[in-house]
Each structure stands twice: as C-alpha cells, then as structure tokens.
Amino acid sequence: MAVFRKNIWLIFYILFAGAFIFLCIASYFKWHSVHKEYSASQTNLVKLVSNATHALFLSQEMTLNILGHQILKDNDSHVMDRLLVLNPSIIAFGFVDTDGNYQTVSSNFNKVKLPNLRELEASKDSFEYTMTQKKMVLGRSYFVAASGRWGIPIRKSIYDKDGTLAGVMTAGLAIEGAFKIFTENLSIGDYNKVMLIRDRDQYLQYESSSHETPKELYQTPLPHNFMDNILTTISQKYGIPFNEIKQKPIIYELNVANEVGKLVKATLKYNPRYELWILSEVDHDKIISDFKGIFFGYIFVFIFIHIILFFLFRMIAKAEEKRRKDLVFQATHDVLTNLPNRNYLQQNIQDWIYTGAPPFSLCYLDMDHFKNVNDSFGHEFGDILLVELTKRITSLVDRNSIVIRQGGDEFIILSNHTDNKKLLSYAQIMLDEISKPYHIKEFDFVIGVSIGIAKYPENGNTLDMLLRAADIAMYEAKKHRNSVRLFADTMQAGYLNRMSVEHELRKALDKNEFHMVYQPQIDNNGNIYGVEALVRWKNEKLGIIPPDIFIPIAEASGFMPQLGYFIMNRTLSEMRTLQLELGISFQISLNISIKQFIEVNFLERLIQETDHLDLSHISLCLEITESLFIEDIEYILPLLEKIRAMGFSISMDDFGTGYSSLSMLKKLPIDELKIDKSFIDTILHDINSEKMVQNIITIGKNLDLAILAEGVETKEQEKLLKEFGCDCFQGYLYAKPLEYDVLKDFFRVKN
C-alpha cells in the first residue's frame, strides 16, 4: 500500500517533470518564434524602405540631371520654379559652380544670401565629393530656417558637351514631404526606429521613429565605432570579408549595441548607389518583454494546472491512505472485540521495547475452561462472553495500557506498572472483576481466569522472551484456579526441565524406554483380585522420571493418546501371557488419561486392542478421574455406558479431591470408587479425613459400588478402613508396584 502511495506521488512528480520539460521546450520555441516574427517584420520593413528610398532618390536624380542640363543650356530659373510646383517635396533648386557659388536658384530663395558650398563646413565635404562622382550624392540633413522644414541636400555634378564639369545641380529634399508616403508606417512602434545612415561619414540621413526628432540629430555623425561594430559582427556572423559586405544585396540581421549603447536587434541593408545603410532597430527589451508576457502566461497555466493536479493527487493519496489505514486496522485488530490482535503486538512492540525504554509489564490472561463454554453453549454464546469479558478488562486498564486479544480466550495487557505489589493487587482486581457472574441468554455463570505476569527488561528483552516468561508464569497460575503469578527464575528451571522432558518424551517410545509395573490389589480376605498397571520411564539422559511429572507433560504436549495406547497394548499382552502361564484370572486396572479418553476413536481402539488379544475372559477396569466430567458431559456419559456394556468396569480414581460431590455419584455409570491416597495418609490423625472416608464408604456402599482404598501403608490404616466397611486395598502394606517377573513370583507365593 505504501508502495502505491509512493507511486501516486511518483506519477505526480513524473507529470510535473514532464510538464516542466514541455514548458522549457515550448518556451524555447516561443522565444525563437517571437524572434522570427520580429525578424520577418524587420526584414520586410527594411526591404520596403530600401526600395522606396532608392526609387525616390533615383527619380530625384533624374530630375536633377535633366534640370541641370537645362540650366546649363539657357540659365533660366523659371524652369526650376515650374518644377518646384510639380515636385512639392523639393524645398528649392539651385545650380552651383565648381567654386561652390550659387549661379541660379529657384525664385523662393535669394541667391545672394546663400553660402558658398565649398566654404560652408556642413556642405564642404559632400560638395567636393559630389564633384568627383557621376551619381547623385546626398549631403548632411539640415534645418531650412526659411521654410521651417528639415531637408536633405541632393547634388549631382553636371557636365557640358565636352565632358568638363560645369557645375553642380543641387536641391533640398524636404524630409517630411519626400518620406511622407512611409513615415506614418515606417516605424512599427516605440521600440523601433528606421535609420538611413551615410556610409561615408556615418551621418544620419534620416531617422524615423515615433519620437520627435531632435534638431542636433543630423548635425553630428554617429559614434564612429557604431557602424564598425556592426560590420565586424556581420563579418563574423555571415563569414563575409569586410570589403565584400557592401557588395552583397543581403539583408543582414544581428544583435548589437546601438548608437546609444542599448542592445538592439538590428536589420540592415546597404544601398551602394547612394552609399546608404538602411537600418531598422528593435529594442531587445521589447522582444524580451513580448516573450516574457507569453512566458509568464505559460508559467501561470503550468502552475495553475499543477496546483489543481496537486490537490487532486493529494485527494487520491489521502483516500488511499485511509483505505490503507483501514486495511492495516483490519489486519491488526480483532473483529469480534475490536481489540488489537497478535499482529498488532508484533508490529508495535518497538514502541515499548527499544534502547533506554522504561520498564513495563506484560500480563498474560487466560480463561479457565473456555473450551467447555463453547462446547456446551455454542460459539455464539462464547463470542458474547468474550465481548463481555473484553468490556470488563478494558474498563479496568488505564490510558497508558493496551489490551490485546492474543488468541481465542487469551488476552495480553501491556502496562507501565512494574511494582510487584501493585501488579499483584492490580491483577487481583482484574481477577475479581472477571470472576463476577455473567448473565448471558438467561444463564448466570462464572468463569475463572489465570494470569501470568512478566516484566521488561528483567524477564526478557524481546517480545518472544516476555511472552514465554508470562506463559510460564501463567502455567504456574493454572495449577491453582483463578490465580495470578509473577514470573520467577525458578519457574524458568521448571519450564526448561519440562521442555527437555517433552523433547525426550517424543523419542522415548521409539527408543523403547517405557515399561509397565503392576501393583496388586487385595480383597477383604487378603487375596489378590487384581493389579493396577502403572507406567515407568527410564531415559538415558534424564534418568528415571516419575509418572506424576511426565504424564501431565505428555498430556499437555498431545503425546498422551499415543503413550496411552502403548500402555494399553503392553499391559494387556503382558497380563494375558501371565494369566495363561499361571492359569489364573484377575482384574486389570488401566489408568486412562482424560486426553486419551476424549479421543474420537478411543472406543474403537479399545475394541481393537482387546479383540486382537482375545481377552474375552479377562476382566478389565478403566480408571478415570473426576476431571473427566469437566469435559462435555453429554459426550462422556454415553461413552461410559458403552464401555460398561462391553463388559468393562469403570473406577473413579483419586476420589474426593476433585469437584464432583458425593450427591453426583448417583448419576455416574461407575463400578468402583478409589479413595484418594491423601485421605488414607491422614486418616489416623485427622478427624476430617476420617469423616470423609467414612462418608465415601457409606454412600458408595449405598450405591452398590466397590470401595478401594489406595496408599495403605500400615496395619492400623487397614484395620480402621475395614471397620468402616472398605473391602478392597492397595498399597505398600501389600506390595509396591512390581516388575513383571516379580509380580509373577508374587502370584506364585500367594497361590
């Protein structure tokens, strides 16, 4: 899930990066296209201006030529006046001799007042240049005070028939008039100006811009590095040698610093006839600002889209996060009680266990005989009980503790309490609360619970170690109903021992480490009427282990049924052999573990074993304990009936120690009562024991049951028991449990 969450943002980042790259590319192309647009309009403009000026000057040149020759012929100024009328863009005409003096002028000017063109500083250079040229030459633009207009002097040398220079035809071309046709649309805007620059001296001939033209503009040449700079750049950019630049009919384009040092995009073309540069400049700033406008538009759209996308993705990510959290919750919580489960504990234990973590306690809570509740009342009922139990537990823990449902009827409480006294009283409160009666579906009943407590870090510094320690403590607690135990290292030894016993047990059958011993049972007259089979285990590592130790372990580890069938098989075959050999018959008592008894196919196995050995004539007695009746009684009772119907008898072992009351005996399908050894041990000194034994015998007799006293060690005990009416005896007074051969001898002697 986290992967998905990362992925969704990854998609976002990829989109973002993709869009960003696209933005860069689009901006790059836009930049070029803006440039191109300007370049196209500039080129057109330069072309237009170049053609128009050329045509204009050419026509004026023709006029000057014709007029010059006319003047030379008849020296009549009238023809000038007439032409002035026809050509309003001309301010005045004049014919100047080679010395620079006006010979003839149009009548709107006074010849006498006019300067000598060879002497006048402003005209000297261009006049002399005119005399060296056959073509028309332009002079410096000047302000004609008389007409209040700006004019361009145009001059052409006139030759007589012999080819000698006769003079110079000159005229003033009114800038406004001559350029009117295109002044209005010459410049594209504020940021643009078109200039005609004289190549020879770099004077500005004409400048068209939307600004008003300052008077001085035409009176000083442009900074002389301006054109040099342009030519150098052209030469570099176009790879043309310096001297060829002016010979090519190319419209050059370049970025340069203009005459006032501002970066411009310059587009220019050279007119070789009139030695003019037609130059259009566009402020670079303008191009940039045009581009910026579009670029910021792009950026805006980009940001806008991504803000929307961001929120969209965040929404999806949040929804996904919620779904993930729900899933995690489901995986880490129990559906029935809504408590965190085992997975939760595994995943979150690092909140409790880390270097420098404060101490805490882990309580392991396990209901006693919950299985019976489920079996007897159904699972639905069990569920209700669990929910009810959960409520009680959670109502008692504080905010810093967590309650976890570890499994079926097992709960774990992690809490900050670590003081032994406090923990025990806390657990006791919990026990008291839990063992209050429950009222579910008209039933009132109580349940017991056992609590084992382990502490971090002293009992373990991993979850597994703590769980095991708490489990060991709980195992101790289970030995006494409804109680609590704190883990102690001494328990660990017992646990480890149990572990090794369990380990060795599994191999013991194969290694043939078990054998049977038999303890004779004596009747009133001192005759042997039966034997109780008792199992013995001698292990190569652990030595002789008493059945009191290994039988409960075999039961707890699920090994009991297997061992039980071995005991049954071995006992029956040995006793059959013995009986056949000695030609006698006696009862054989077999201890049947509850775990074996409730095995589904117990009865079939029993039939199988007895049939197989052809034991029809042997009487068999099964010893069961009261704890059997904790199990599903509906199942147990019919089973006992069936066993009796097969001709086997049932003996109630260790009677008096368990829960079943004497009044219950009536309902149970049994044949014999075995009074527990603990009563016999104390019968001579403890009046309660004596009373108890007396009662058992009286009631048992009433119910027609055989009464057997076990653990009889003295004659005194036997005497008293006989007085009370006991008729069967077993104990060291008569014989210890005997090995097969010893038993054989024992029978031989007795008979």
The footprint of ligand C2E (CB under 6 A) covers 519, 533-535, 546-548, 551, 567, 591-593, 653-654, 677, 710-713, 730-732, 737
711 binds, among Ca ion, ligand C2E, none (CB under 5 to 8 A by kind): ligand C2E
Min separation Cβ 571 and ligand C2E, Å:
8
737 binds, among Ca ion, ligand C2E, none (CB under 5 to 8 A by kind): ligand C2E
Question: What's the rounded Cα separation, in Å, for the pair 374 and 751?
Answer: 53
558 binds, among Ca ion, ligand C2E, none (CB under 5 to 8 A by kind): none
Q: At what angle do helices 420-434 and 379-396 cross, to 10 degrees?
A: 140
- Closer residue to ligand C2E (CB): 46 or 620: 620
**CA angle centred on 136, ends 133 and 142, rounded to 5°:** 115
Question: What's the rounded Cα separation, in Å, for the pair 521 and 118?
Answer: 166
Q: Pairing mode, if any, of strands 543-545 and 528-539?
A: antiparallel
Task: Please state the three-class secondary structure of 245-302 as a single string.
Answer: HHHCCCCEEEEEECCCCCEEEEEEEEECCCCEEEEEEEEHHHHHHHHHHHHHHHHHHH
The separation between CA 435 and the C-alpha centre of its own chain, rounded to angstroms, equals: 44
Positive or negative torsion for Cα 292, 293, 298, 301? positive
- Closer residue to ligand C2E (CB): 486 or 615: 615
- Closer residue to ligand C2E (CB): 478 or 570: 570
Yes or no: say if 620 and 590 are a contact pair by the CB < 8 Å rule.
yes
388 binds, among Ca ion, ligand C2E, none (CB under 5 to 8 A by kind): none
- Closer residue to ligand C2E (CB): 459 or 591: 591
- Closer residue to ligand C2E (CB): 362 or 592: 592
Question: What's the rounded Cα separation, in Å, for the pair 196 and 184?
Answer: 16
- Closer residue to ligand C2E (CB): 90 or 743: 743
452 binds, among ligand C2E, Ca ion, none (CB under 5 to 8 A by kind): none
Min separation Cβ 547 and Ca ion, Å:
10
654 binds Ca ion (CB under 5 A): yes
Min separation Cβ 607 and ligand C2E, Å:
19
533 binds, among Ca ion, ligand C2E, none (CB under 5 to 8 A by kind): ligand C2E
Can you tell me whether residue 589 is helix, strand or coil? strand
Min separation Cβ 710 and Ca ion, Å:
5
Rounded to a whole number, what is the largest CA-CA distance in the chain?
Answer: 190
Min separation Cβ 560 and ligand C2E, Å:
7
Yes or no: say if 404 and 394 are a contact pair by the CB < 8 Å rule.
no
- Closer residue to Ca ion (CB): 281 or 653: 653
Min separation Cβ 666 and Ca ion, Å:
22
Token reading at 465 = 């170690």
**CA angle centred on 576, ends 574 and 579, rounded to 5°:** 110
Yes or no: say if 416 and 401 are a contact pair by the CB < 8 Å rule.
yes
Yes or no: say if 259 and 7 are a contact pair by the CB < 8 Å rule.
no
Token reading at 280 = 């259009």
Stretch that binds Ca ion, among 171-179, 269-277, 493-501, 651-659 (CB under 5 A): 651-659
- Closer residue to ligand C2E (CB): 345 or 592: 592
Min separation Cβ 599 and ligand C2E, Å:
13
Stretch that binds Ca ion, among 180-188, 379-387, 620-628, 725-733 (CB under 5 A): 620-628
- Closer residue to ligand C2E (CB): 167 or 561: 561
Can you tell me whether residue 166 is helix, strand or coil? strand
Question: What's the rounded Cα separation, in Å, for the pair 249 and 459?
Answer: 100
**Buried b / exposed e across 394-406, counting CB within 10 Å, b at 16+?**
bebbeeebbbbbb
Burial of 430 (0-12, 13-18, 19+ CB in 10 A): buried
Min separation Cβ 491 and ligand C2E, Å:
22
Number of Cβ within 10 Å of residue 79's Cβ equals 18
Min separation Cβ 602 and ligand C2E, Å:
13
Q: Which of the residues 547 through 606 are near Ca ion (CB under 5 A)?
A: 591
Min separation Cβ 673 and Ca ion, Å:
11
Question: What's the rounded Cα separation, in Å, for the pair 733 and 16?
Answer: 97
- Closer residue to ligand C2E (CB): 345 or 545: 545
Closest C-alpha among 203, 156, 202, 213 to residue 179: 213
Min separation Cβ 534 and Ca ion, Å:
7
| One-letter amino acid for residue 137 of the chain | V
275 binds, among Ca ion, ligand C2E, none (CB under 5 to 8 A by kind): none
Min separation Cβ 719 and ligand C2E, Å:
15
451 binds, among Ca ion, ligand C2E, none (CB under 5 to 8 A by kind): none
Question: What's the rounded Cα separation, in Å, for the pair 570 and 562?
Answer: 12
202 binds, among ligand C2E, Ca ion, none (CB under 5 to 8 A by kind): none
Min separation Cβ 472 and ligand C2E, Å:
23
Q: What are the phi and psi torsion angles at 675 (to 5°)?
A: -70, 130
Yes or no: say if 101 and 88 are a contact pair by the CB < 8 Å rule.
no
- Closer residue to Ca ion (CB): 144 or 598: 598
- Closer residue to Ca ion (CB): 290 or 653: 653
| One-letter amino acid for residue 452 of the chain | G
Q: Which of the residues 286 through 345 are near Ca ion (CB under 5 A)?
A: none
- Closer residue to ligand C2E (CB): 427 or 738: 738
300 binds, among ligand C2E, Ca ion, none (CB under 5 to 8 A by kind): none
User: Residues in the chain, how many?
Assistant: 751
- Closer residue to ligand C2E (CB): 218 or 518: 518
Residues 6+ apart with CB under 8 A from 69: 158
Q: DSSP readout, 171-240?
A: EEEEHHHHHHHHHHHHS-STTEEEEEEETTT-BEEEEEESSPPPGGGGTSBPPHHHHHHHHHHHHHHHT-
126 binds, among ligand C2E, Ca ion, none (CB under 5 to 8 A by kind): none
593 binds, among ligand C2E, Ca ion, none (CB under 5 to 8 A by kind): ligand C2E
Yes or no: say if 712 and 693 are a contact pair by the CB < 8 Å rule.
no
Min separation Cβ 717 and Ca ion, Å:
15
Q: Which of 207, 283, 631, 653 binds Ca ion (CB under 5 A)?
A: 653
Min separation Cβ 512 and ligand C2E, Å:
16
437 binds, among Ca ion, ligand C2E, none (CB under 5 to 8 A by kind): none
502 binds, among ligand C2E, Ca ion, none (CB under 5 to 8 A by kind): none
Min separation Cβ 732 and ligand C2E, Å:
4
Number of Cβ within 10 Å of residue 124's Cβ equals 15
672 binds Ca ion (CB under 5 A): no
- Closer residue to ligand C2E (CB): 56 or 590: 590
Query: How many amino acids of this chain bind Ca ion (CB under 5 A)?
Result: 4
Q: Which of 623, 626, 631, 672 binds Ca ion (CB under 5 A)?
A: 623
Q: Pairing mode, if any, of strands 360-367 and 410-415?
A: antiparallel
- Closer residue to ligand C2E (CB): 178 or 712: 712
Number of Cβ within 10 Å of residue 355's Cβ equals 5
Name residue 450's beta-bridge partners.
Answer: 366
382 binds, among ligand C2E, Ca ion, none (CB under 5 to 8 A by kind): none
Question: What's the rounded Cα separation, in Å, for the pair 293 and 287?
Answer: 10
List interacting residues with Ca ion (CB under 5 A): 591, 623, 653-654
